[in-house]
Amino acid sequence: MANVGVVGLGEMGGGMVERLLLAGHHVTGWNRTRSKATPYEAKGMIFAGSPRDVAEKSDVTITMVTNTEALQAVLDGPDGVLAGLAHGKVLAEMSTTAPSYMPILGKRVAERGAKLLDAPVLGSILTLSKGQLLIMVGGDRDAYEIAKPIFLSIGEAARYIGPLGQAKAMKVAANLNLAVQLIGLFEGVLLAEKFGVDRRVAMETLLSGVIASPHMKYRAPFVLDPPDHAWFDCNMMQKDLGLALNLGQELEVAMPTTAVSQQLLNSARALGYGGEDFAVVFHVLAEMAGIARSPETAPAS
């Protein structure tokens, strides 16, 4: 079993730790907020004093943080991940970050004698808990083969995409669909509701047809029964749509539906919904249609 490090113990990073421990790997972890590590220490994870310490003790180090800025914060400086890398080690960057940053980071990792993989995932905390994530991987093929058994301890499939940055581009391409497709479904539900169809009947009917993707089937019902806490809140969804729009501008690809989705999420935040799961954009559209949000569709406090 490999020595694996995980930097960033949020819902996804922490869930990865649990999967790795179940598979028998030796796991060292670090998180800025120390208390988030406690549940995983109880299951066998070793808490490190710094990101550098994680990298020094690990054959493969995983970073799973919120954005590019947070990634740079854990990579740089005397206590950062880069300082702990050495010849033969692999850094697997699994966050949703800017694709264009990966080749730049790859050069810095290579200067340490190590290799970088960009390895974002497709799935949610639900699919992670079931071991059903798809890990998309970009970078050096040999490094991919080294890390592949670790990826398969986390998810059910690992797919090599191409050179550094291409897996991140695929992640951005996938995540913009999370919002765009769901908003299309919500428009259909509201159209039916305004004609007199019961909202639950409209939702269940549309989710029983050919337009329903696995993502829609588990997230759209949040409109009727909100989760206790956001799986992926409006702020995080906006971050990913921002990455998509920036990449579209860079590559001269028109992205009108992504831009509209971003504006609807702006409206959700303006209404005070920023911390809720991004499925709450349904209620933005509903209010625009003159349908007030009912108390039972608000998340539990």
How many CB atoms within 10 Å of residue 299? 16
Report the distance separating Cα 173 and Cα 240, nearest Å: 9
> Which CATH number does 3-163 carry?
3.40.50.720
**17, burial (CB in 10 Å: exposed 0-12, middle 13-18, buried 19+):** buried
Domain ranges of the chain: 3-163, 169-297
Report the distance separating Cα 30 and Cα 16, nearest Å: 13
pTM recorded for the entire structure: 0.89
Mean pLDDT of 12-27: 96
| 227 — pLDDT class (breaks 50, 70, 90) | confident
User: For residue 294, what are its two tokens?
Assistant: 């009912």
Q: Across all residues in the chain, what is the average pLDDT?
A: 94
Question: What percent of the chain clears pLDDT 90, i.e. is strictly above it?
Answer: 84
- pLDDT tens readout for residues 154-168: 999 999 999 999 999
Mean pLDDT of 10-26: 96
Amino acid occupying residue 37: A
- Residue 298, pLDDT score: 76
- Residue 8, pLDDT score: 97
Report the distance separating Cα 21 and Cα 9, nearest Å: 14
How many CB atoms within 10 Å of residue 216? 20
| 126 — pLDDT class (breaks 50, 70, 90) | confident
- Residue 16 scores a pLDDT above 80: yes
| 219 — pLDDT class (breaks 50, 70, 90) | confident
Q: What angle do CA 63, 67, 68 make, to 5 degrees?
A: 85
- Residue 300, pLDDT score: 63
Q: Look at the alpha carbons of 244, 152, 125, 280 in this order and tell me if their dihedral is positive or negative.
A: positive
User: For residue 17, what are its two tokens?
Assistant: 């730790």
- Residue 135 scores a pLDDT above 70: yes
Mean pLDDT of 9-27: 96
Mean pLDDT of 258-282: 94
| 297 — pLDDT class (breaks 50, 70, 90) | confident
> Which CATH number does 169-297 carry?
1.10.1040.10
- Residue 271, pLDDT score: 93
Question: What percent of the chain clears pLDDT 70, i.e. is strictly above it?
Answer: 99
